[in-house]
Structure 1
Amino acid sequence: MTVRTKSVRAIEAPAAPVAEPADAKASLLLRKAADGYAFPALESVATQFARSLRDLLRALGAPAIQVERAGSEQTSFGEWSASAAPAIFWRYHAPPLKGPVLLAAARPLILQLVDIFYGGKGKLAGEREELTDAEERFAARLGRDMGLQLASAWRDKLGLEPELDCVTGDPAKLAAVRADDDMLVQRFVLRGAPFEGRTIVCAYPVAALRGVVGAELLPETHSASTADPLWSGALDKALRDVRMPVRSVLARPEISLVKLLALEVGDIIPLTMPRHVPVTVAGRSFAFGSIGEANGNAAIMIDHIEKGPDHD
C-alpha cells in the first residue's frame, strides 16, 4: 500500500524582539545634547499643560484667553527667580522626582484674576507688595488647581502627582533649591485682554530630571471609544458654554400674618445677616460662602463646596 504524504511548509516563527539597550526607555525622557541635557518627553507635557492652563483660566472668568508655549531654557534658579520677581511662587513635592516642581506667575496676574473672579474686569487699581487674606487664599487655591493640571499633563509619562506645599512671594523661602541649581524653565504666555503678555512659568531642577533617567515611562494608552472626535469636541465645547443659574439667599425673615397685613410703604423689615449663606446651582445645593465686597461689588467668597454621593 502506497501512502501519499503532503509536503508541509514550515511556518517561520516571528523573530524574537531585539533587546533594547538599557538606556532606551531613559532616552524618552533624557537625551544627551551637544551642550548639556535635553528632555524630549517634556515637550508633550508642556503642550498638554498649556491646554490645561487655558481651560483653567477660562473657567475662572476669562473665556477668550489663549495660552501659548514660549519654548524652554536652562538657567540657574537665582537668575530665573530674580527675573520673575515680583512674583508668586508655588512649590510642589512631586515624587518620583528627587526635587520640587516650581510654578511662578507675576503678582499683578494674581490681582487681576482675583478681580475677575469676584465680578470685576481685571483692571489693576495699583501695585501692592502685600496680598490681602482673600488674595492669599485665592493664590493657594489657584496653586492647587494648577497642580492638578500639571499632574494630568504628566499622567501618561511618569505618573507624577504634584502636591502643593508652599506658596510665597519670596524665592528665598523655596527650600531645597539653591541659587546655583540648574533649572529647566518652560514659559507659557497668556494672550487676550486683560492678561495679554502675562506669563506663567514652570521650572524643574535639572538634577531632579536626571534622577529619573532609569524610570520606566508609562505606555501610551489609546481610548477604546469609537465616537467621532470632532463630534465629541463639539459636544464638549457646547457643554462648557452652558450657563447655569447661580443663586444665594442672603436672608429669610419671618413675620406674623398680622404684621404682614399691616405693612405700608416706608415700613422696614429688619434682617439678620448670617455668617455663611448657601449657594445653589440650578436649584441644587453647591456651596456655602461668606458675604463681602470685592472691588466695589457685592461678592460671596466660597468657604466650602458640597460633595455629591460620588465625591465629585
Structure 2
Amino acid sequence: MGKDVLSQSEIDSIINALSSGDLSSKQQDDELLQAHKVVPYDFRRPNKFSKDQMRTLKNIHENFARMLTNFLTAYLRIPAAVKLESASQVIYEEFICSLPLPTLVTVFRLSENNGSALLETNSFFTFPIIDILFGGEGKIIKQARELTEIELSVLRRVNEKVLNNLRYAWEDIADISPLIESLDTNPQFSQLLASNEAVALLSFSTNIAGNDGFINLCLPYITLEPVLTRLSAQNWHTRQSKMDWDMTKALKNLEKKLKFIKVELTAVLGSTTITVSDFLNFEEGDIILLDRQVDKPVDLCLEGRPKFKINLGTLSTKMAGVITDIIFEEEETE
C-alpha cells in the first residue's frame, strides 16, 4: 500500500488503544499526522513554481551569469565576475523588505506581451562601475548615498546592456525583449505587485575591480505565467542538446573555411634605433647596423606576430627559411 495509507493492522491498533484508554485524542492526532506525513501549508507563501520550473530557471540564469561576466569584463576592461548564488521563490513583500537603502531598483518589462520584473543592483556593484566609467579605478564610496541624475543616466545605459544579456540567456526558452520602465533608489516605492504575490528570486554575487557586491533579479509568477509550460528540464535539455549540435556544426564549418584563408608571413631581419637627423641624411650605399648577429635565427611573423624562429637561405632562385623553433604565447609577451 502507499505510504500515505494506514494498513488494517495500524487502524486496529489505534482503535484498540483508544478503547482501552491507552491512547489520548491528542496522541491519536499526532500518530495520524505522522502516518500521513502531513506538512503544514503556509497560505502566505504559496509554492506556485514547481521544482522542475525552478531548476530550469536556475539553469537559464547560470548561463546569464556567465554572459554577464564576459560582458562586464569586456565593457569595463577589468576583471569582473558574476555567479548565481541562489534561486528561490518568495513573496514580493519579503523580497522588498530585504533590500538595503539606498539601492538601485530597475523596473522593466520582459516584452510587450509580458508583465514587469525587477532588477536590483546594490551600491557595491553600481559605484565601482560608475568610478571606472568616469575614469577611476573602480573604488567604492565609504558611505552609501543617493545617486545623482548623471549617475542614474549612466547606470540606465549599463542596465540596458545587462538586460540585453538576459534576452540572450532566455532565447532558447522564450523570445523576450526587456524594456526599462523606471529606475528608483528606494525599493519601498516599487509597488509593482500585491505584497503576497509569489516571485522567483535569483540572487547573484558580483566582483568588480575586487569589490564584492550582489544583484537580485525578481521575476513575478504572473509575469512568467505565459511561458511556464516551457520551463521544464526536458524542454531545457532538448534545446541545449540542439544548441550544442548547432554549435558543433558551426565550429566544423568555421574550421573548414579557416583552412582556405590566406595569411601573411614576414621574416624580420632585425631592428635598430636612429635619430631623425640620421634618417634625413641616408644615401644609397649607406650601411645600417642591425641588432641581429649574422649567425642568429630571425623571427618569422604571422600577421605581424612572431610565431617561428628561422634560418635564412636560398632555394633555387628565391630566398627561403628553415624553421628552427616555435615561439609560444608566453615568449611573445616577454
TM-score range, shorter chain: 0.5 to 0.7
Partner of 1:243: none
What residue is the counterpart of 1:132 in the other structure?
148
Q: In structure 2, which of residues 201, 211, 229 is the aligned counterpart of residue 185 of structure 1? A: 201
Looking at secondary structure, tell me which structure has more helix per residue: 2
Matches for 1:156-235 after TM superposition, within 5 Å: 156-191=172-207, 193-196=209-212, 198-214=213-229, 220-221=242-243, 222-223=246-247, 224-227=249-252
2-side partners of 1:125 and 1:200: how far apart? 18
Bigger Cα displacement from structure 2, 70-79 vs 210-219 = 210-219
Indicate the structure (1 or 2) with the bigger Cα radius of gyration.
2
> Where does structure 1 lack aligned partners over 5 or more consecutive residues?
1-32, 231-312
Structure 2 Cα separation of the partners of residues 37 and 108 of structure 1: 33
Q: Distance in 2 between matches of 1:130 and 1:192?
A: 20
Match of 2:131 in 1: 115
Corresponding residue number in structure 2 for 1:68:
83
Q: TM-score, normalised by structure 2?
A: 0.52
TM-score calculated relative to the size of structure 1? 0.56
Match of 1:42 in 2: 57
The whole-number CA distance in structure 1 between the counterparts of 2:110 and 2:124 is 27
Answer with 110-119 or 184-193: which moved more. Answer: 184-193
The unaligned stretches of length 5 or more in structure 2 are 1-45, 256-334
Cα distance in structure 2, aligned partners of 1:34 and 1:226: 42
Once residues 171 and 95 of structure 2 are traced to their aligned partners in structure 1, the CA distance between those partners, rounded to angstroms, is 27
Closer/same/farther in 2, CA of residues 49 and 160 from structure 1, 3 Å limit: same
Query: What is the DSSP-based 3-state SS (H/G/I as helix, E as strand, rest coil) of the residue aligned with 2:182?
Result: strand
- Residue 150 of structure 1 corresponds to 166
Q: CA deviation at 1:99?
A: 2.5
2:147 alignment partner, SS class: coil
Root mean square deviation of aligned Cα? 3.1
Task: Give the whole-Å Cα distance in 2 for the aligned partners of 1:104 and 1:67.
Answer: 14
Counterparts of 1:227-266 in structure 2, within 5 Å, are 227=252
Report the equivalent of 1:56.
71
What per-residue deviation string (whole Å, max 9, x for no partner) do you get for residues 173-212 of structure 1?
Answer: 434322222211111112464322x111111112332343
Task: State the Cα distance separating 1:108 from its structure 2 match.
Answer: 3.7
Residues 97 and 211, structure 1, Cα contact 8 Å, conserved in 2: no
The alignment of Structure 1 onto Structure 2 pairs a total of residues equal to 198
Identity of aligned residues (%): 19
- The one-letter code matched in structure 2 to 1:126 is K
* Closer, same or farther: CA 123–227 of 1 in aligned 2, 3 Å: same
CA drift of 1:215 comes to: 5.9
Task: Sort the Cα spacing of 1:177 and 1:102 in 2 relative to 1 into closer, same or farther, 3 A.
Answer: same
Corresponding residue SS for 2:120: strand
